[in-house]
Amino acid sequence: MMVVGVNGAGKTTSIGKLTRHLADANAKVLLAAADTFRAAAREQLSVWADRAQVEIVSQEGGDPSAVTFDAVVAGRARGCDVVIADTAGRLPTQLHLMEELKKIKRTIGKAQEGAPHEVLLVVDGNTGQNALSQVKSFDDALGLTGLIVTKLDGTAKGGVLAAIARERAIPVYFIGVGEKLEDLQTFNAREFAQALLE
């Protein structure tokens, strides 16, 4: 899995919660700290790895593609079920940085044919139309397979999901409704729609 999004959307936290979710389902998970620019990102991911008791592949100031390649190779060697690559926060307008994400995706494909099997975008449910433009930009660049929408503590903030669904047929896998580990919930469209109408 390759996880992308802008800084502040809750990407690394969502990866931590997703790791816990997968580990609870008895999946063997390996994390790849491919956000090599922000030392705090590596540390934050390490904290989540410790909490979920999973291994992490990281290197200080290394090439993000190389870290990801190493992680996929290590994951296969160690018999892992899932490798999750955390990438640096990107604004869709930073074209040279979007190119780096494309390179990471290509490198994952070199490490394992057919990978990444999932390219997930984490978007902040509070950002309204900005979230929609992020979905379009990241999907055009990477071919998204799913979304994680964070900070949906109240249904009034969820209207953006309807706008996204109208524009792009990308499934919403999870929603974040709080800070705790268990606050990453599997998305249920019917329940969500009913909550919006109440």
Span 57-96, pLDDT tens digits? 988 777 899 999 999 999 999 999 999 999 987 776 677 7
In CATH terms, the fold of domain 2-197 is Rossmann fold (3.40.50)
pTM equals 0.92
Distant-in-sequence, close-in-space partners of 49: CB < 8 Å, separation ≥ 6: 19, 31, 55, 56
Task: Tell me the mean pLDDT in the region 29-44.
Answer: 86
Instruction: Give the whole-angstrom CA distance, residue 85 versus residue 77.
Output: 17
- Domain ranges (residues) in the chain: 2-197
